[in-house]
Structure 1
Amino acid sequence: MSDNSNSTLNDTAKADAWIRDHRDCVKPRYRLDYHVMPPVGWMNDPNGLVYFKGQYHAFYQFYPYSSEWGPMHWGHAISDDMVHWKDAPVAMAPGSTADRDGCYSGSAVDDDGKLSLIYTGQIFDDGDIKPFNTEFSETQNLAVSEDGIHFSKYAQNPVIPAAPSDNSRNFRDPKVWKHDGRWYVVIGSSTKDNEARALLYSSADLREWKFESVIAHSEGKIGEMWECPDFFSLDGKDVLLFSPVGMEPEGLKYHNVFQTGYLVGDFDYASGKLQHGEFEEVDRGHDFYASQTFEAADGRRICMAWMNMWQTPMPEQADGWAGAMTVPRELHAVDGQVRMTPIKELESLRGPVIADVAAPLSNDQVLAAPKENRCEVLFSADVPADGNSKIGVSLDIGTDHDVSFTYDAALGRLTLDRGGEDGVRAYDCGKLEKLDLHIYIDRSSMEVFVNDGLATFTSRMYPATAATIKAVAPASGLNGKVRVYALNAMR
């Protein structure tokens, strides 16, 4: 049969009509100005990040009809530069026999000039479509587009109808790549004994798949299910990036509802096994989940993630929308760690310099007051020789508690504190001689990059007023400098 059978045109047209009729009802209070977010309704995982025919495509888990989670569609945005994004028509809606209750997460590839989406279809046993319902079945499916806008589901879906016999119901989030002329996909899963793992399959044509191996598993330490696995080579190493479910807090680690992190090592295609080191979180903030990577036009490995977290307050839901993506980050492998830095293209957002402050910096010194909480902060300071100082920046956002990011030299600890219950996230990075912070603030979000990617912290915040940015410094002052750029909105 043709790939053009079983089209979802009518269902996506219904969703597009709803968006047109309701987008003006969304309140702007916490809307972001240079991040991908839904025009209306609910967003979670980024899907299908890909460079195709000269443009970047970002798909995402989407429910247009409410700011609460619902049956998953695929939303869609397109960009020429990974910075300025425009909404595109809804790419997929649930409703076929393979995805009756949701078109769940997956990936996209350029298959000889056709944009091909590989995604999880979900069917709930009792028809009760709600998050965290455990009575479901999951299969892997294919949809294809000639123009990158309009997609048709493959008539013979599912292309991978079932997991191995020892698998639980968890079998989702396919990420596809090509190696030596053959397609490979890694899929998140768990065994019937709740052992998390990543499954590897291969195919010649994206339609008939062969099970290859368990690429890696949790060994009883890394959760009971791995969502959104992603596998790629980076600076001579192989990386498995994923979001484990079911990890308990351990010291300063794993304090989000769910985590996102990676294993770095060496992969053997003959055995299908990844020899790897210890699991590490890739971002230390509150709101970073379900990350996905792709190759930019020049070969850089780029990452984006959902900038929210399950089962946490989302005040924007009262305004008719929820969810956003992080800014794109470039990845590198350094000394066994995956480091993230903002892509250079973000500099195209820069407007005027609104602060250019040199040493000495004093505690509570006002550095800038950006309008609309939209700015880029470059902070650089020598760590005082006394070894006991706390340095960094704070934001007065008109709430009961300032938002602050600091380095405590006595503890060797980086801390983001956004106030409120469960407001602190911290990471013991060890002794630093210099603290360089690259911070992006966008109305209700804050993304902090430390010392060229040594650590990153991504968190949402909900200001009552425009922010005032201040220095955190010892009483003796701080040898440092700060430059703040106003940023232009991407839309």
Structure 2
Amino acid sequence: METKQNLTHEQRLELANKKAAELAAALDNDRFRLHYHLMPRTGWMNDPNGLIQFNGEYHAFYQHYPFEPHNGPMHWGHAKSSDLVHWEHLPIALAPSEPYDLGSGNNGYGCWSGSAVDDNGKLTLIYTGHVDGNNPVEVQCLAVSKDGVQFEKAANPVIPGPPEEGCFGFRDPKVWKHEDKWYMVIGSGKDGHGKVQLYTSDSLHHWQYSGAAAQSDGTMGDMWECPDLFPLGEANHVLIISPMNMGSTKTMYLSGSFNYDSGKLETAYSERLDYGFDFYAPQTLLDDQGRRIMIGWMNIWGAKMPEQEDGWMGAMTIPRELKLTEKGTITMEPVAELTALRGKHHSLERQVIERDTVLRLHALQSDALEIVAVFEVSDSHEEEFGLLLRCSADDSQYTEISYCTSNGQLLMDRNQSGQGDGGISELTIEPMERGRLKLHLFLDRSSVELFINGGHKTITNRIYPNPDSLGIKLFSRQGSTILHSFDAWELQSIW
């Protein structure tokens, strides 16, 4: 753990990278290590930061404490990819080193979350400097790179504090350019209402406050972390937030129209973004194909994290492409590039799964799978059907995905999933055209990501079964079920 004081930023980066390499080399248990998700070499990972396509490559930064697999003074980890599938770890980009981001002890300071932009060929990071005990606690800062790897901090802070007294938080800047002006949204809250503060700039170094772009009506949390405001579809914008103190809802989106003259988002629709336990602080980027791509942190604060025992913690979701429907709802689907991971293919023809039957797929034994299962939902409104994942030989471990035709409720039950937290994720969804339910899922050793009916709803969860719990089953209860089609691919590791 880092204890030395009076070190330069470069010296702190050198210390962090050296320690990370040493600890990564010493990792000797891969029971929960993911095959095809971005995760830290060692230490702690949380929020994705600075997602950007720069000089033809995708860059993902992230909140990182390289010295221990626990939350500590935040650095910015860094990885890049040419295809959104295969990731290469780069040197740590930021370390706390200055009065506005360096404190004392093991917590309460650091280079907190933010974003990245291409400023005339210079990869520029915009982040929150957080130091408990400072007044103000949180300020907004810049760091600039000419080569996309080594970063120098600017004359910081560029925003020296919140726009008003009594703010609950002032962090996580997301910056973009519209026409000839820079825009920044910052997460905040006041008097029990989460809000997003808006700033504008001509140069990134000098910012003007433009008021609140959007705020809660009192029912959507008391502080909005990690805001991301972006255009999606024709004449529409979407604001993604991670509201604090809103019960089981950890992420939301608001869709509507954003007026660049007034700086206000007129919301037409709002909904929970993901219905799982382990999805937080997502961020998006716009790539050169015009796609809006999102990656989220595939964990959640306060959860049991069994991988900490092995010297690391945290992972990112697979990249997801966002689209906006005519109703103002978002769909999320895995990026097309992920098909490159597909290996051995397994399939089943259309068939009836009889009442109270469990069908074990003996040929399918893997902890890294993509599965697309399509069921025909009958008019009888009696049956319950679905899949059992990562089943042990004695059936004591499994993760269940089920759909009940009587009420349209879809569940992911991880109460028998292994060492991690239990709990049931639930949502309600109607069948697609011709009465079909499509379950598209990605299973990766200690995670499950489920995309339902073309990504109209998603569930993201971490699971921690024993390494030898590899069985996959289909089932039907209370009535018979027609399996329209079933395709599964064993997925290759990117590491």
TM-score by length of 2: 0.91
Query: Contact 1:449–1:455 (CA<8 Å) still a contact in 2?
Result: yes
Moved more, 17-26 or 264-273: 17-26
221-230 or 272-281, larger mean C-alpha shift: 272-281
Q: Which residue of 2 aligns with 1:141?
A: 141
Shift of 1:430: 3.6
| Superposed displacement of residue 167, structure 1 | 4.2
Matched to 1:174, the amino acid is: P
Residue 352 of structure 2 aligns with which residue? 360
Which of residues 369, 390, 397 in structure 2 aligns to 1:375?
369
Deviations, residues 173-232 of structure 1 (Å, cap 9, x unaligned): 0000000111000000012x2321000001111100000120011121110000000000
**For 1:357 and 1:16, how far apart are their aligned partners in 2?**
51
Partners of 2:264 and 2:429 in 1: how far apart? 31
- The alpha carbon displacement at 1:371 in A equals 4.7
The correspondence for 1:200, drawn from 193, 198, 201, is 198
Q: Aligned equivalents of 1:454 and 1:53: distance in 2? A: 32
Match of 2:4 in 1: none
Q: What SS does structure 2 have at the residue aligned with 1:82?
A: coil
Aligned to 1:30: 32
| Structure 1 position 395, deviation (Å) | 1.4
Q: Does 1:409 align with 2:418?
A: no
Q: Deviations over 1:115-164 (max 9, x none)?
A: 000000011118xxxxxxxx97000000000111000000x100011111
1:488 to 447, 468, 492: 492
Residue type of the partner of 1:468?
G
- Secondary structure of the corresponding residue to residue 304 of structure 2: coil
Distance in 2 (alpha carbons) for counterparts of 1:364 and 1:147: 56
| Change in CA separation of 1:300 and 1:368 when aligned onto 2, cut-off 3 Å | farther
How far the C-alpha of 1:264 sits from its partner, in A, is 0.6
C-alpha separation in 1, matches of 2:261 and 2:178: 12
Residue of structure 1 in register with 2:54 after alignment: 52
CA distance in 2, matches of 1:306, 1:452: 22
Match of 1:228 in 2: 226
Q: Does structure 2 retain, via aligned residues, the 8 Å contact 1:222–1:279?
A: no
Shift of 1:314: 0.5
Residue 262 of structure 1 pairs with residue 262 of structure 2: no
Deviations 1:256-288 (A, max 9, x none): 6xx101111111111111110343111111100
Name whichever of 163-172 and 115-124 sits farther off: 163-172
Query: What residue in structure 2 maps to residue 62 of structure 1?
Result: 64
Cα distance, 1:477–1:57 mapped onto 2, change above 3 Å: same
- 2:14 aligned residue: 13
Secondary structure at 1:102 match in 2: strand
Distance verdict in 2 for CA 1:379–1:489, change over 3 Å: same
Alignment partner of 2:85 out of 71, 83, 86:
83
The reply on whether 1:473 has 2:476 as its aligned counterpart is: yes
Task: Sort the Cα spacing of 1:379 and 1:396 in 2 relative to 1 into closer, same or farther, 3 A.
Answer: same
* Deviation, structure 1 residue 402: 2.1
1:179 corresponds to 2:178: yes
Alpha-carbon deviations, 1:52-109, whole Å to 9, x = none? 0010000000001111100000001110001100111000000112211200000001
**Per-residue CA distance 1:314-372 (angstroms, 9 max, x = gap):** 11010101000000000011111111000000001111113444323453112365554
Distance 1:391 1:214, change over 3 A: same
Q: Distance in 1 between matches of 2:148 and 2:362?
A: 42
Cα distance in 2 between the residues matched to 1:400 and 1:423? 16
Amino acid at match of 1:330: E
Aligned-pair distance for 1:431?
5.2
1: CA distance, partners of 2:136 / 2:406:
50
- Asked if the contact 2:174/2:227 (under 8 Å) is kept, the reply is yes
Query: How far apart, CA to CA, are the structure 2 residues paired with 1:354 and 1:314?
Result: 32
Alignment partners' CA distance in 1, 2:363 and 2:304: 27
Q: 1:159-170 counterparts in 2 under 5 A?
A: 159-170=158-169
Deviation at 1:477, TM superposition (A): 4.1
Q: In structure 1, the residue corresponding to 2:14 is in which secondary structure?
A: helix
Q: Which runs of 5+ in 2 are unaligned?
A: 1-6, 103-108
Q: Distance in 2 between matches of 1:204 and 1:471?
A: 57
One-letter code aligned to 1:186: V
Q: How high is the sequence identity, in percent, across the aligned residues?
A: 42
TM-score, normalised with respect to structure 1: 0.92
> Contact 1:369–1:467 (CA<8 Å) still a contact in 2?
no
1:411 partner letter: N
Partner of 1:132: none
CA distance in 2, matches of 1:167, 1:264: 28
Contact 1:242 1:261 in 2 (8 A): yes
Q: What amino acid sits opposite 1:171 in the alignment?
A: F
